[in-house]
Structure 1
């Protein structure tokens, strides 16, 4: 048994014409764009993207999609708004909900890599058939698990390499007995609850970013719809290995991305930075040996200013933090403001290690590139402030 079909599941998509011309927006193209937004982008972020594009929003995701598909508007403005949404979706693949590792690399090596990749001819794979949209599931099943380079995006700030891959998931789903056939209802008549395991696969868009004015190479792993720490580790390993293989072929350099930046000092630096963002979550050890975690509801006050937390801090000499989430309000336009998040997912065992190290951060809730770069700049600033 499967979940109730979503609005777009009920629509038939003609996958033989996935990429329409830039000059027109067909209903088929709109279906495809909304389908990919629905499967890839969290609803709050999708709402922001629709607001930016001045497109209608209904009560919830499915109602919104119904409304957009039902609006038979004509004219250039409607087409322009969907062209803008398509561009936002493309940009989102680079910045939306990513686990991130940073590597300090010599300027000359980065410049050599950029020059080489600007001339690189990407090998054709099945992913190019639909990129920047995801492959339909029947095609995705035919791919292997190794990341494939599908796109090289060159801007004034950086050069980004997009690697596509797939991964399998299982989901535990509660089955509504009322939706069963009469025969099945009789068979499960004595059961109070019925659950099934649904298996599915999804396409991921992982990115390696070569900065032109920073001595940094970034690896961004797609974590849309939630990815476990173990799955993130596998994705980092595979994407870095593929990039290192390309670097070896281009420059003859072994293990280009080897030792990443340690983010652990960011936890204390950001927590102690009064007036910087809003702390929404922390986890820490006390001198007495207990482990504590605190989390504020969305929209609540900064955890550092919460009365219970302040009273506890005053009662002890100090606390040793190992996890932190910090949020910033970001004004996209005069009428649109978002809240973006940097999460440092440390675990308590870090504190007992000889070298306290956190190799990844998670950047969430970004809908445009400017939001992501804002968080990256904050990270760089507070890492440089480490004494």
Structure 2
């Protein structure tokens, strides 16, 4: 396999800043963006064949781990210790049934093979990681993508017909192979469903995917150890929104909130900018509200951390809690989903997971 073949698999899933950190970690040179870097590494492979073979193996190993950790929508469950232990013992001895997805795993099937499959999830692998277990499921899904259409890309007649529209949005549906994970954590008696959202996924598609994987895993647990509804009620992430905002953690890059006077606000900082909580406009607005004994009512937040993957290389993993304003009208708002993005491997994913667990324990 060539370097550009492996990089093409990363490209649809990994942001360029994260990919640049991955390449630097294994001592591969980068350039300005994907195209120039791939071109440079193709030349490197031609003149350094033996070293390039090692680089390809390293990239394949990282890609395999990335499937467990990169760009995931997450639900978290507590599990009864005895049931968790029984299932983990069984799975450690279990041989996964052969299926077509294994032909190319960890890479996806060709579009031709994929379109002829049904959409039921298939278990590909049970992988042990430091005493925990990761179950990798592959699924063919119809993927919905909304994108802005530029009328100037079409004929003059179409452009004139659409002239009165400020924005035109198209919805496209296509099939793609997704790598979803159920992760069983022995020490904390927890389980996660991690839905693959590489390249983006709409809320309704994420909701459907969680139901799909949860149902498949619960059937597996029932068939193997006779336990119904192994994953039942997800933990509530909503209390984390205000807790993280009021903490000294990381860098807040995005928030949404209402005010006591009834307005709805959304604030976002540019990539690389400072913490939104320290931004002059935001601080002044909060201070003005506090003069009148008012406050902001948060329902959405994105927070990022600096994470060292080596002595001089950092990633910036992000936790996004995608609440909705109507949650604030509920007596007990419940947010069952968190989104963890921009991780390079399992190390920075687990860093974010441990932050979540720490603050959920504090909210309990």
Report the TM-score when normalising by structure 1: 0.85
Number of the residue aligned with 1:329: 306
Distance 1:200 1:64, change over 3 A: farther
Once residues 172 and 318 of structure 2 are traced to their aligned partners in structure 1, the CA distance between those partners, rounded to angstroms, is 31
2:125 is aligned with 1:151: yes
User: What secondary structure sits across from 1:110 in the alignment?
Assistant: helix
Once residues 156 and 355 of structure 2 are traced to their aligned partners in structure 1, the CA distance between those partners, rounded to angstroms, is 58
Cα distance, 1:56 vs structure 2: 2.5
Once residues 41 and 90 of structure 2 are traced to their aligned partners in structure 1, the CA distance between those partners, rounded to angstroms, is 43
Deviates more, 1:202-211 or 1:347-356: 347-356
- Larger RCO, structures 1/2 (Cα 8 Å, 6+ apart): 2
Once residues 283 and 355 of structure 2 are traced to their aligned partners in structure 1, the CA distance between those partners, rounded to angstroms, is 25
Distance 1:306 1:157, change over 3 A: farther
Once residues 61 and 151 of structure 2 are traced to their aligned partners in structure 1, the CA distance between those partners, rounded to angstroms, is 39
1:283 aligned to 256, 269, 276, which one? 256
1:65 aligned to 38, 60, 71, which one? 38
2:194 is aligned with 1:220: yes
Once residues 324 and 172 of structure 2 are traced to their aligned partners in structure 1, the CA distance between those partners, rounded to angstroms, is 30
Once residues 290 and 360 of structure 1 are traced to their aligned partners in structure 2, the CA distance between those partners, rounded to angstroms, is 25
Once residues 276 and 88 of structure 2 are traced to their aligned partners in structure 1, the CA distance between those partners, rounded to angstroms, is 42
Conservation of the 8 A alpha-carbon contact between 1:329 and 1:338? yes
Q: How does 1:325-364 map to 2 (within 5 A)?
A: 325-364=302-341
2:217 is aligned with 1:243: yes
Number of the residue aligned with 2:143: 169
Aligned residues: 351
Distance 1:176 1:80, change over 3 A: farther
Conservation of the 8 A alpha-carbon contact between 1:277 and 1:327? yes
5+ long unaligned stretches in structure 2? 163-167
5+ long unaligned stretches in structure 1? 1-25, 179-184
User: What secondary structure sits across from 1:40 in the alignment?
Assistant: coil
Once residues 177 and 288 of structure 1 are traced to their aligned partners in structure 2, the CA distance between those partners, rounded to angstroms, is 42
Number of the residue aligned with 2:20: 47
Conservation of the 8 A alpha-carbon contact between 2:258 and 2:297? yes
Conservation of the 8 A alpha-carbon contact between 2:218 and 2:231? yes
Cα distance, 1:89 vs structure 2: 0.6
Q: How does 1:190-205 map to 2 (within 5 A)?
A: 190-192=157-159, 200-205=174-179
Once residues 346 and 327 of structure 2 are traced to their aligned partners in structure 1, the CA distance between those partners, rounded to angstroms, is 32
User: What secondary structure sits across from 1:150 in the alignment?
Assistant: strand
2:354 is aligned with 1:377: yes
Distance 1:199 1:348, change over 3 A: closer
Cα distance, 1:333 vs structure 2: 1.1
1:86 aligned to 60, 65, 71, which one? 60
2:97 is aligned with 1:123: yes
Cα distance, 1:41 vs structure 2: 2.2
Once residues 301 and 149 of structure 2 are traced to their aligned partners in structure 1, the CA distance between those partners, rounded to angstroms, is 33
Once residues 279 and 107 of structure 1 are traced to their aligned partners in structure 2, the CA distance between those partners, rounded to angstroms, is 35
- CA-to-partner distance for each residue in 1:279-314, whole Å, 9 max, x for gaps? 111111111111111111111111111111111112
User: What secondary structure sits across from 1:227 in the alignment?
Assistant: coil
Conservation of the 8 A alpha-carbon contact between 2:143 and 2:201? no
Number of the residue aligned with 2:181: 207
Distance 1:197 1:67, change over 3 A: farther
Cα distance, 1:34 vs structure 2: 2.3
